[in-house]
Amino acid sequence: MSKPPKNQSEINIWFNINDKALGNIMLHLHPTIATTVLNLLQKTMEDNTNINTMFASLAWEYLEKTYGKPGIATTYKELKATMDVVIPGNADPTLAIDTILIGFTRMAASKCAVPPHLQAMILVSKLPYQMSALVQSICQTDDIEDLKTDDIKYQAILAWEQRSPAQNNNNHPQQPQAAKKISAVQCSGPPPSFQQQQQQPQQEEQQHGNQNPQ
């Protein structure tokens, strides 16, 4: 009878982890795909007599090879979502620019990477008309390869921050005029004195008595 290997405890731990991984994979598969994976693993065991278990790594490799490639529809969806982003001219452009850059990253993961200089040109083309001066400045770059999306993002945010104080003033153009109108209102005369306030009720009583003689 052969002795157990010295690292039998580590082997047992590996088998335990492998079984959990395979079970987790199978739980997330459609029944049809799960059957295909099981048939593949069983055939692998039959063809290799030295393999006495179903390897989770083989199942993962099969799934990645068969279903890991994004289709054209997925790539088109990412491209369209990226191109539909609108960079606002009256708000902070950071979120919109980050969304565009994330779209480029996802397209690269879909094996449809957009060249860096083309990313920069797309970003410039989407800048709002309020940043036309920035667009003209960027277009004066000598080499298109020198355009960087991070630099364009920084300049766009800086342009917005420089415009925001003036824009806030334009959003409230009537406040100074209203203040002037209020300050221009004048009283008809000085406030009545204490004696005048005491005499007014007496005058009203005399007038009332004259209008109703006995």
Residues 150-179 have pLDDT tens digits of: 999 999 999 999 987 655 555 444 444 544
Handedness of CA 15, 17, 20, 23 (dihedral sign): negative
Binned at pLDDT 50, 70 and 90, residue 127 comes out as very high
Across 93-107, average pLDDT = 94
Each residue of 19-51: pLDDT tens digit? 899 999 999 988 999 999 999 888 888 887 666
Report pLDDT for 179.
Answer: 45
Q: What is the pLDDT of residue 142?
A: 86
Q: Is the pLDDT of residue 206 over 70?
A: no
Please tell me which of 50-54, 56-60, 110-114, 120-124 the model is most confident about, judged by mean pLDDT: 120-124
Contacts 24+ apart (CB under 8 A), 110-116: 110/70, 110/74, 110/75, 110/78, 111/69, 111/70, 112/75, 112/78, 112/79, 116/147, 116/148, 116/149
Domain ranges of the chain: 12-67, 72-165
pLDDT at 209 over 60: no
- From the centroid of its chain, how far is CA 3? 60
